[in-house]
Amino acid sequence: MRQGLKGAPELALDWYRAGRGAALATVVETWGSAPRRTGAQMVVSGDGQIEGSVSGGCVEGAVMVEAMDAIESGKGTLLEFGISDGDAFAVGLACGGTIKVLVEPVGTVLTEDVLSQLVEARAARKAVAYIANAETGGGTLTSAGFADRFRMDRSGVEEDGRFVAIHNPPLRLVVVGAVHIAQALVPMARLAGFDPVIVDPRAAFGSEARFPGETVVEEWPDEALQNIGVDARTALVLLTHDPKLDDPALHIALKSDVCYIGALGSKRTHAKRVERLQEAGYSDQTIARIHGPVGLDIGAASPSEIAVAILAEMLTVLRKST
């Protein structure tokens, strides 16, 4: 079973507690064609290791130097880079955008207690907002208010000057059917930021050899989804073609607020699926939440191409709906 990749807050806490020193660098504002959205983070250790990014590679080197200085001084700092900034251009910010990056050393500006609470909330899949001074850093956590920001998964600076960093639960993908398409989709989805889980009661399909290091649940889909728990940060993809496996999962998903439901099969197969759901009492509006046949129509033929189409549709639904 593979654990989800650690994010910047988790690494910052680990590095700080290991005595290496750490600072979190967070994009607090952007203008123009900045390569990363507000809220993007990277973590810097006191000995110069970095993970994550704030600009897609343009200014990370400069931020690392400033972050190491902040760790040494114990003071937060607000950095600004843009096309007209000579220092920024020298390190490669030629995209035409401008970004502000807030650097907070852990233990002084960003306290260990607050960071620990943030990491615990993320592990528990609890949505929280980190509210900080946009220029000097240092803040608190809350789960109240900021409904629009939580819904849109959008960090930013409020009118009163406070920076609000939204930490929604990590995106999760549940794939029903440990088939060939799943073998391509799972690693792609992981790279895109999803934490995947494969569900298939057929042990031979979900073997370690076919899905090395991945989480495979050998239960019937309805039982598995009830045990896993599905929410608005969960995407569900059904790949078995078998109503005995797919339909029980659909019944769970359609009664939840999962962010995406996709089901493999031809138009004829999907039409039969719709008929079964109508007979089960589901409204046309509810059934319309299912994307079937699954994936964007890009002319995909091979399992890997179909996986690309599925992931593209998942991201389209997730991002364009907000």
Report the CATH number at residue 191: 3.40.50.720
pLDDT at 137: 94
pLDDT at 3: 43
Tell me the Cα Rg of the chain: 22
Residue 2 lies inside a defined structural domain of this protein: no
pLDDT at 96: 58
Of 167, 197, 230, which marks where a domain is finished?
A: 167
pLDDT at 4: 47
Total tally of structural domains belonging to the chain:
2
pLDDT at 1: 38
Bridge partners for 22 per DSSP: 45
Residue 114 lies inside a defined structural domain of this protein: yes
Instruction: Clarify whether residues 130 and 190 are in a common domain.
Output: no
Domain with 297, as residue range(s), is 172-320
Token pair, residue 61, equals: 């080197």
Instruction: Clarify whether residues 134 and 180 are in a common domain.
Output: no
Instruction: Clarify whether residues 157 and 232 are in a common domain.
Output: no
Terminal Cα distance for the chain, rounded: 32
Residue 3 lies inside a defined structural domain of this protein: no
Instruction: Clarify whether residues 150 and 184 are in a common domain.
Output: no
Mean pLDDT by 10 residues, the chain (322 residues): 68 97 96 81 96 86 96 96 58 66 97 97 92 94 92 90 92 96 97 94 92 94 93 93 93 94 95 96 96 95 97 91 57
Of 144, 167, 190, which marks where a domain is finished?
A: 167
Residue 24 lies inside a defined structural domain of this protein: yes
Of 114, 144, 167, which marks where a domain is finished?
A: 167
Instruction: Clarify whether residues 119 and 104 are in a common domain.
Output: yes
pLDDT at 308: 98
pLDDT at 51: 95
Residue 132 lies inside a defined structural domain of this protein: yes
| Strand boundaries in 156-298, DSSP class E | 156-157, 162-167, 172-176, 195-199, 215-217, 234-238, 260-263, 290-291
Instruction: Clarify whether residues 51 and 141 are in a common domain.
Output: yes
Instruction: Clarify whether residues 25 and 161 are in a common domain.
Output: yes
Comparing C-alpha atoms, which of 267, 258, 241 is closest to residue 321?
258
Instruction: Clarify whether residues 214 and 121 are in a common domain.
Output: no
Alpha-carbon span 156 to 28, nearest angstrom = 6
Residue 272 lies inside a defined structural domain of this protein: yes
Instruction: Clarify whether residues 183 and 128 are in a common domain.
Output: no
Pairing relation of β-strands 195-199 and 172-176? parallel
Instruction: Clarify whether residues 111 and 244 are in a common domain.
Output: no
Instruction: Clarify whether residues 279 and 199 are in a common domain.
Output: yes
Instruction: Clarify whether residues 88 and 202 are in a common domain.
Output: no
